Amino acid sequence: MHVPFCTIVPPYLLRRLARQDAPEYSAAARAAKEALGHVKSVQAARITARPGTPTGMLAAKPGPATRTIYDAQGAESLPGKLVRKEGEPQTGDAAADEAYDGLGHTHRLYADVFGRDSIDGRGLPMDATVHFGRLYDNAFWDGKQMVFGDGDGAVFQRFTASLSVIGHELAHGVTQFSAGLAYRNQAGALNESMSDVFGALVEQYVKGQSAAEASWLIGEGLFTPEVQGQALRSMKAPGTAYDDDVLGKDPQPDSMDGYVRTSADNGGVHINSGIPNRAFYLVAQALGGNAWDAPGRIWYETLTGGSLPTTATFAVFARATLAAAEELFGSDSKEHDAVRQAWETVKVKL
C-alpha cells in the first residue's frame, strides 16, 4: 500500500506565491518554488506505508505518548539530529518544543476522547523533524513522521506555531492506518477534511473551547502580519480565510453549488474539502457543547469503523456519518437530525 505525501499548504497557494516578482517577495517566491518542487519529487517516489490497523485490533487501553524530536538544521534529509526525547525538558528552541507539545496534545485527544493508542491505534512512536530545509514553506506527514519547515518569513512563519497544523498532519496518519482514503477527487477531499476536523478538535480540546467559542480556523498564526488573512482555511465559512493581494482570495466552496472540477491538486483535494468541513461545523453548531463529544465521535466512528471504502464520495461518506449517528444515538435523536440537516445544507445528496 502506498500513502500520499500530505502537506498543509495547498499547491494552488504556493503556485500563486511562486509567480510573485515584486522585490519584497523574491525570497518567498523562491521558497514557494522550492516547496512545490519538493512535493513533486516526493510524490514521484511514493513512500510505502505500513498495513492499516484492522478493526478490533486497537489496544484496549491507550499507553503514554512516545515522542522524539529531530532537527534537520536546514537540510532536507530525515530525520536529522536528535534534540528531545520523551520526558526530557524543553530545549529552548521554539519549533522543537512546539512540535513536542503538539504531538502530546494530539496523542491526548485520541487517547482520552476516542480510546485510540497513538496514530496507528497500536502505540506508534510519534516522531517529528523541525527546521526542515531553508525557508521551507510547508509541513507534512510522510507516512512515518511529521516534518516542519520554518516558513519564508515574508508570508509564512514557522509551521509549528499552529496546533491545528500539527493535529491536521497527524490525522493524515490516522486516516492512513484506518480508512486509507485515496488522495484524489472526493475521497482525497474527505482525507483533507478529516485532517481539518481532527486538527480543529485537538486545538479546541487543549483550549477547552466549546463549538461556539472556537475559531474553526486551520493554520491560524501561520501568516505574517503583512498578509491579509486569518488562516489557511475556515471550517465555519469556507472561502473567507484570506483575501490578499499576493495570495489571492480563499477559493474554497461552502456547498456543492461551488464544487470545483479540476485535475490540479489531485482533483481539488484542498479546495473541495471546504464542503465536508462546513458539514462538520454545522453539526457541531447545531448540537452545541464540545465538538469532540457527539460530532467528533460520529466522524471518528465513520473513519475508523471499517466500512468506509477507500474511494468514498461525499455522498457515501455522508450516508456513513448518518449510519454512525444512528448506531451511536438512535435514528430519532437530535444527533442524527443534525447530521442529516448539515449534509442537506451543503447540498450533498443522501
**Integer Cα distance of 222 and 204 in angstroms:** 17
What are 138-169's pLDDT values in tens digits? 999 999 999 999 999 999 999 999 999 999 99
Residue 76 has a CB neighbour count (10 Å cut-off) of 17
Proportion of the chain above pLDDT 70, given as a percent:
93
- Residue 86, in any domain of the structure: yes
Same-domain check for residues 256 and 146 = no
Domain count, the chain: 2
> For residue 7, what pLDDT band results from cuts at 50, 70 and 90?
confident
Same-domain check for residues 274 and 172 = no
Same-domain check for residues 64 and 151 = yes
Same-domain check for residues 55 and 16 = yes
- Residue 9, in any domain of the structure: yes
**Integer Cα distance of 295 and 275 in angstroms:** 16
Mean of pLDDT values over 34-40: 81
Same-domain check for residues 261 and 315 = yes
Same-domain check for residues 22 and 170 = yes
Where in the sequence is the domain holding 37, given as residue range(s)? 2-176
Choose the final residue of a domain: 123, 150, 176: 176
Q: Hey, which residues does 330 pair with through a beta bridge? A: none
Choose the final residue of a domain: 157, 176, 195: 176
Tell me which residue has cell 486545538: 203
Mean of pLDDT values over 221-249: 96
**Integer Cα distance of 295 and 167 in angstroms:** 17
Q: Worst-scoring range by mean pLDDT, 23-32, 44-53, 68-77, 294-303?
A: 44-53
The pLDDT of residue 41 is 65
CATH, residue 146: 3.10.170.10
Choose the final residue of a domain: 176, 207, 231: 176
What are 106-141's pLDDT values in tens digits? 999 999 999 999 999 999 999 999 999 999 999 999
> Residue 288 contacts by C-beta under 8 Å, 6 or more apart in sequence?
210, 211, 212
The pLDDT of residue 49 is 40
- Residue 13, in any domain of the structure: yes
Report the catalytic residues. 169, 270
Proportion of the chain above pLDDT 90, given as a percent:
86
The pLDDT of residue 1 is 47
CATH, residue 319: 1.10.390.10
Same-domain check for residues 12 and 146 = yes
**Integer Cα distance of 71 and 17 in angstroms:** 27
Nearest to 62 by CA among 136, 114, 6, 128: 114
245 pLDDT exceeds 80?
Answer: yes
- Residue 350, in any domain of the structure: no
- Predicted structure pTM score: 0.94
On whether the CB atoms of residues 11 and 264 are closer than 8 A, the answer is: yes
- Residue 181, in any domain of the structure: no
252 pLDDT exceeds 50?
Answer: yes
- Residue 182, in any domain of the structure: no
The pLDDT of residue 315 is 98
Average pLDDT, the chain: 93
Same-domain check for residues 6 and 135 = yes
The pLDDT of residue 43 is 53
